[in-house]
Amino acid sequence: MKKNKKILGGSNGDVAIDEYHRYKIPCVISEGKISRGVNIEGINYYNNLINELLDKGLQPFVTLFHWDLPQALDEEYGGFLSPNIV
């Protein structure tokens, strides 16, 4: 439930720091499967991000799966209906 005029300037809080649009974030597994290689730049990015959060006294929570299936796994196994996608 949204309440109008509760935040100075009329903001609604729908977009917080907007990391998705403000930062270039490298993929860790850009080909969709670990066997196809891991991007060390992606590992370093998230390692540094987690360390920075911890240094600031924030407890990070990592989402290993967030709604979308990597394209490579969808093509190989046929998506979420496959027993191989668990």
Domain assignments of the chain as residue spans, ordered by start = 14-81
Given a cut of 70, whether residue 2 has pLDDT beyond it is no
Q: What is the pLDDT of residue 1?
A: 63
pLDDT, tens digit (0-9, with 9 covering 90-100), for 7-58: 778 777 777 777 767 777 777 887 777 888 888 988 998 899 999 999 999 9
The separation between the first and the last C-alpha atoms of the chain, rounded to the nearest angstrom, is 34
Exposed/middle/buried for 42, CB within 10 Å: 0-12, 13-18, 19+? middle
pLDDT, tens digit (0-9, with 9 covering 90-100), for 61-86: 988 776 788 888 889 999 889 999 87
Q: Are 72 and 36 in contact (CB under 8 A)?
A: yes
